[in-house]
Amino acid sequence: MKISKRRVEYSHLGGNLRLVSMTDEERKELAKQHNTEKWAISPNLYFVEFSSFNRNYRGYGIRNVNGGIEFINPLYMKNPITLDNKGYVFVAHSKDDNNKHCCLFWEFTDYLAYLSIQKKHFLNLPKDCDCFIMSDVRNFIPMVVDTDDYENIYMFFPNNDTGYTIAKTIQNRNSKHVHDCSLLYAANETLHDFAHAYLEEVNK
């Protein structure tokens, strides 16, 4: 197990790591944990089971581009952790390689919030976009390089020093095509926090 400033990384889990497709009922239960609807849970998500230091863990996650897993159990974790290889997550909107619009997220919980907000229509967000989830600052450079050719780049980074620095760096690199969306949730640190608070209020 490696510990970085921002993130815990479990390496070389090998056969201890198991991915399981979700049933409809399991998606429904997961949606309850996020105060959203089951159709807002990405089909790219899996239930994940692994063991480390003689303990068993179960939650859900999404694959990154290097075959690792971004993992979380919202019942006892606030932030995701990386299982095996680190890397950013890429979710294509469609099989069309000519998409000119993309969204950039810090964590995949922000990506799930984005899906939920789109379905609920309580905030006007960009649609039909490829999605990149950075997950860790070490994935910044490869993610930025792979988004250079998009005509519109929508950023959903945290409202904190780390998020501001990342957003400013990308703006300096590609100022004509970048849109900072963090003002939409300026009263909250992350898009996930904003969506969770809003849906918790309306579902009372």
Can you give the CATH number for the domain in which 116 is found? Answer: 3.40.1360
What integer pLDDT is reported at residue 2 of this predicted model?
A: 35
Sheet with 2-3, side-by-side order of all strands: 2-3, 8-10, 81-83, 69-72, 55-63, 46-52, 18-20
Q: Element (H or E) spanning 101, and its range? A: strand 101-105
What integer pLDDT is reported at residue 1 of this predicted model?
A: 33
- Is residue 79 located within the same domain as residue 100? no
- Is residue 95 located within the same domain as residue 188? yes
- Is residue 14 located within the same domain as residue 42? yes
- Is residue 79 located within the same domain as residue 95? no
Residue with tokens 């105060």: 35
Report how far residue 7's alpha carbon sits from residue 54's, in angstroms, rounded to the nearest whole number. Answer: 21
* Residue 4 predicted with pLDDT over 50: no
- Is residue 117 located within the same domain as residue 187? yes
| Residue range(s) defining the domain that contains residue 30 | 2-83
Model confidence at 87, in pLDDT bands (50, 70, 90)?
very high
User: What global pTM score does this model have?
Assistant: 0.84
- Is residue 73 located within the same domain as residue 133? no
